[in-house]
């Protein structure tokens, strides 16, 4: 690797405590022209280009897979480019600094202002895409950001930060707008960072989210994924199977939006399974199901020899037949929703749990039971030609997102074909113990001042407000 330019942060701050990083971040914010939307947008473009640049996108993807052993290179290249490009599109369409909205008829002017120094805790599953995604949003709000990497992905994340810093310097912005927590990244070091920043944004394990939420620092955490998807009687089965297969296998199922279970209505069950087999699925026998169960979890933890591994590696580890090594994912039929460390749980692997439901009511109940095991608040999907079923599922299920006829991994975190903002961090609302019930986006990185002037009085009569109550219950 040959990167030309200013000395990387990782070389100049190896012993810097969190307090020094925060001090440098605040100095960078003072020098950042963060009251000028055009300059802010150029800084965001610089950070985006540092990873979108084809050779960098590939280099970071290769580093991530080599360092963590999670996922696959081509998928990570797609994450590094598609998520960055989509997020940049969203950000460049928004005003975030200075006057961001004027409503003369309401006597209102809104001003966007920075939240301050952001601490961005990032996972091993997306050690390049997530830091850049959060940095883009933070800088869009006029802030500085300090990235806390996963210890198992430090090399990839620190290199990502170095690239962002270099591009910022090239475009005339303070490098210290983006910094990385130096080695060794421990719970204590990350906790110290969280304690001293103005906003902590945590993606990754629920332990990290929980610790940050208890810190006293304003924290945005996201919930665990464990996406169940319904295939109803009206669905285009081959289209549904193709989308589920593509989504399930993307980056070897490392995404929190990857389908973990599919619930199929009884009258199309066998046809849907046949379609899933055509899409690359291997239908496990009872004995094979048992071997997967005994291998996927070891002492109550997911087996690192299986999670996020290529299909042929997983098939060998599960001791599946030779023919299974040619499959893309493995379908395990389940009859009841068990507890944690069972097939209803998140699997982070190419194992897809399949449930059979007598009717649509039972399919909804099964989905809700799965989400009680893990993933409540996050997301569900449905493949259907009947929007009444989609609306009913949305009305009856405690999740933030219900995707209709979409590959979940490609739609949940934003798409060029749906309205969700591009992100790698999905809030699950209070159902998941989160402060946000939407995709993380630029609005979470700004404070807003409201300039309020008067307009013609808007005061309804007593009758307008109380009339219906008086008519029903009397005065």
Q: Provide the edge-to-edge strand list for the sheet that holds 281-283.
A: 281-283, 329-334, 351-357, 259-265, 227-231, 377-383, 399-404
Is residue 13's pLDDT more than 50?
no
Query: Among 200-209, 384-393, 398-407, where is mean pLDDT lowest?
Result: 200-209
Of 81, 35, 24, residue with least CA distance to 58: 81
Is residue 5's pLDDT more than 60?
no
169 three-state secondary structure: helix
DSSP letter for 171, please.
T
Confidence of residue 17 (pLDDT cuts 50, 70, 90): confident
- Cα–Cα distance list, 426 to 84, 144, 175, 244, 441 (Å): 16, 21, 28, 20, 9
Cβ neighbours for 165, distance < 8 A, ≥ 6 positions apart: 6, 8, 9, 175, 176, 178, 179
Phi, psi of 345, rounded to the nearest 5 degrees = -85, 170
DSSP 381-406: EEE-S-HHHHHHHHHHS-EEEEEESS
Catalytic choice (103, 122, 256, 284): 256
Per-residue model confidence (pLDDT) at position 368: 97
Per-residue model confidence (pLDDT) at position 14: 42
Per-residue model confidence (pLDDT) at position 315: 97
What is the gyration radius of the CA atoms in the chain, in angstroms?
24
Cβ neighbours for 258, distance < 8 A, ≥ 6 positions apart: 225, 227, 247, 248, 250, 408, 409
Prediction pTM value: 0.93
- What stretches of 311-438 show up as alpha helix (H) in DSSP? 311-317, 360-373, 387-396, 408-411
Per-residue model confidence (pLDDT) at position 210: 79
Neighbours of 236 (CB within 10 A): 15
Residue 361 Rama label (left phi>0; alpha psi -120 to 50; beta):
alpha
Between residues 206 and 371, which one has the greater pLDDT? 371
Per-residue model confidence (pLDDT) at position 433: 92
Mean pLDDT of all residues in 69-86: 97
Pick the CATH number of 9-222+440-450 from 3.20.20.70, 3.40.605.10, 3.30.70.360, 3.60.20.10: 3.40.605.10
- Counting residues of the chain whose pLDDT is more than 90, the rounded percentage is 91
Token pair, residue 387, equals 């929007």
- Please state the length of the chain: 475
Mean pLDDT of all residues in 362-372: 97
Instruction: Cite the beta strand spans of 44-132 per DSSP E.
Output: 98-103, 108-114, 117-121
Token pair, residue 447, equals 């404070």
Residue 21 in contact with residue 13, Cβ under 8 Å? Answer: yes
Phi, psi of 204, rounded to the nearest 5 degrees = 135, -140
- Locus of tokens 């798409």: 415
Cβ neighbours for 10, distance < 8 A, ≥ 6 positions apart: 158, 161, 162, 180, 182
Distance CA 209, CA 392 (A): 31
Which class for 439: exposed (0-12), middle (13-18), buried (19 or more C-beta within 10 A)? buried
The pLDDT tens digits of the residues spanning 421-458 come to: 999 999 999 999 999 999 999 999 999 999 999 999 99
Is residue 205's pLDDT more than 70?
yes
Mean pLDDT for the chain overall: 94
Of 279, 222, 288, 298, residue with least CA distance to 255: 222
| C-beta contacts of 155-158 below 8 A and 24+ residues apart | 155/63, 155/67, 156/60, 156/63, 156/64, 156/67, 156/68, 156/127, 156/128, 157/122, 157/127, 157/128, 157/131, 158/8, 158/9, 158/10
DSSP letter for 147, please.
E
Of 347, 396, 409, residue with least CA distance to 373: 347
The pLDDT tens digits of the residues spanning 217-246 come to: 999 998 899 999 999 999 999 999 999 999
Distance CA 54, CA 325 (A): 31
Is residue 9's pLDDT more than 80?
no
Q: Identify the architecture of domain 227-412 in CATH.
A: 3-Layer(aba) Sandwich (3.40)
Confidence of residue 16 (pLDDT cuts 50, 70, 90): low
Residue 385 in contact with residue 95, Cβ under 8 Å? Answer: no
256 is catalytic: yes
- Cα–Cα distance list, 352 to 316, 363, 451 (Å): 17, 16, 52
Of 397, 311, 399, 398, residue with least CA distance to 352: 311
The pLDDT tens digits of the residues spanning 309-340 come to: 999 999 999 999 999 999 999 999 999 898 88
DSSP letter for 439, please.
B
Neighbours of 81 (CB within 10 A): 20
Token pair, residue 129, equals 């895409």
Query: Among 13-22, 311-320, 400-409, where is mean pLDDT lowest?
Result: 13-22
- Locus of tokens 């409503």: 103
Domain residue limits, the chain: 9-222+440-450, 227-412
């Amino acid at each position: 690797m040959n990167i030309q330019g200013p000395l990387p942060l990782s070389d100049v701050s190896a012993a810097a405590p969190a307090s020094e990083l925060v001090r440098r971040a605040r100095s960078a914010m003072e020098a950042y022209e963060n009251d000028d939307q055009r300059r802010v947008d150029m800084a965001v473009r610089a950070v985006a280009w540092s990873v979108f640049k084809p050779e960098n996108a590939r280099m970071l993807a290769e580093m991530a897979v080599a360092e963590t052993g999670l996922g696959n290179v081509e998928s990570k290249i797609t994450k590094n480019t598609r998520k960055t490009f989509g997020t940049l599109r969203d950000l460049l369409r928004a005003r975030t600094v200075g006057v961001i909205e004027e409503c003369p008829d309401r006597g209102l002017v809104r001003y966007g202002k920075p939240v301050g120094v952001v601490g961005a805790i990032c996972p091993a599953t997306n050690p390049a895409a997530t830091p850049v995604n959060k940095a883009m949003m933070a800088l869009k709000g006029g802030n500085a950001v300090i990235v806390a990497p996963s210890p198992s992905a430090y090399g990839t994340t620190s290199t990502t930060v170095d690239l962002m810093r270099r591009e910022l310097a090239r475009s005339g912005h303070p490098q210290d707008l983006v910094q990385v927590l130096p080695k060794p990244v421990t719970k204590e070091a990350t906790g110290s960072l969280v304690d001293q920043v103005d906003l902590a944004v945590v993606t990754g394990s629920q332990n990290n989210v929980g610790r940050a939420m208890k810190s006293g620092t304003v924290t945005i955490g996201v919930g665990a994924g464990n996406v169940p998807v319904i295939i109803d009687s009206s669905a285009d089965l081959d289209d549904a199977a193709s989308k589920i297969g593509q989504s399930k296998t993307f980056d070897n199922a490392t995404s929190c939006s990857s389908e973990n279970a599919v619930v199929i209505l009884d009258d199309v069950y066998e046809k849907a399974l046949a379609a899933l087999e055509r899409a690359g699925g291997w239908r496990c026998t009872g004995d094979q199901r048992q071997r997967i169960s005994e291998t996927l979890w070891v002492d109550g933890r997911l087996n690192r020899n299986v999670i996020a591994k290529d299909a042929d590696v997983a098939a060998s580890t599960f001791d599946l037949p030779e023919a299974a090594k040619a499959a893309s994912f493995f379908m395990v039929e389940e009859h009841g929703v068990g507890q944690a460390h069972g097939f209803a749980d998140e699997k982070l692997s190419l194992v897809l749990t399949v449930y059979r439901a007598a009717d649509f009511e039972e399919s909804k109940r099964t989905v809700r039971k799965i989400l009680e095991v893990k993933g409540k608040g996050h997301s569900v999907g449905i493949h259907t030609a009947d929007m009444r079923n989609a609306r009913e599922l949305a009305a009856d299920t405690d999740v933030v997102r219900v995707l209709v006829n979409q590959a979940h991994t490609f739609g949940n975190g934003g798409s060029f074909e749906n309205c969700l903002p591009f992100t790698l961090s999905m809030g699950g609302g209070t159902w998941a113990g989160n402060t946000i019930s939407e995709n993380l986006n630029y609005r979470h990185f700004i404070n807003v001042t409201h300039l309020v002037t008067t307009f013609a009085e808007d005061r309804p009569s007593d009758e307008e407000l109380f009339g219906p109550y008086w008519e029903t219950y009397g005065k």
